[in-house]
Amino acid sequence: MSRKYKILDQTKCYFVTLTVVHWIDVFTRKEYKDIIIDSLKYCQNNKGLALHAYVIMTNHIHLIISNNEDNKLEYILRDMKKFTSLKIINAIKDNPVESRKKWLIWMFEKTGQRNKNNTRYQFWQQHNCPKMLTSSDSLSQKLNYIHDNPLKEGIVNEPDEYLYSSAGNYSGKMLRVLDVELI
């Protein structure tokens, strides 16, 4: 594996992307997005995750993160992905109004069977492609990229209108689902 896709310096900020396998649109339902929000809050409060920016799109999540404690970022991400994958798959199974339930579970199961690292299902793609943000320009570019995602997808007219993004934190809007450490 290339060194550019590893977290080499635990004291730096990183831009990471968590992507659902096959780019499946799972985060179209509030209850699945809320699992991500709760997990991020847990990691902030209990694992030392410093969350600087985020956006939850329909099939992927972008984060700018760093570390406040001794836990390694890659371990925090690993644990979060493992927990959220199990929790979301169970939420899909238990959701009486999920119209794509059988297909979603089938896709996650078939993908999991092709990966020797899984016992049954695979929800997330294996990689996070962490990119170290070493300058104020790179931080600013990724911050704008994250906040402009819902705008570019036509979900909102202004970045800070999207509830599942840190754009509201940066613009000072009171309606936010997560606290972030501003950069």
Dump pLDDT digits (tens) for 80-101.
999 999 999 999 999 999 999 9
* pLDDT band, residue 2 (cuts 50/70/90): very low
Asked if 163 and 155 touch (Cβ cutoff 8 Å), the reply is no
pLDDT digits 0-9 by tens, 29-82: 999 999 999 999 999 999 999 999 999 999 999 999 999 878 899 999 999 999
Q: What is the pLDDT of residues 116-172, one digit of tens each?
A: 887 799 999 998 999 999 999 999 999 999 999 999 999 999 999 999 999 999 998
* Global confidence as pTM: 0.94
Amino acid at 143: L
* Residue 3 confidence class, pLDDT cut points 50, 70, 90: very low
Domains of the chain: 3-171 (3.30.70.1290)
The DSSP string of 39-95 is HHHHHHHHS-EEEEEEEE-SSEEEEEEEESSSS-HHHHHHHHHHHHHHHHHHHHHH-
pLDDT at residue 4, rounded to an integer: 54
Distance CA 74, CA 77 (A): 5
Q: What are phi and psi of 153, to 5 degrees?
A: -85, -5
Q: Give the tokens for residue 93.
A: 């199974």
Going by the DSSP 8-state scheme, the letter that residue 20 receives in this structure is B
Give the strands of the sheet with 13-19, arranged side by side. Answer: 49-56, 60-67, 13-19, 131-133
More confident residue, 6 or 148: 148
pLDDT at residue 24 is higher than 60: yes
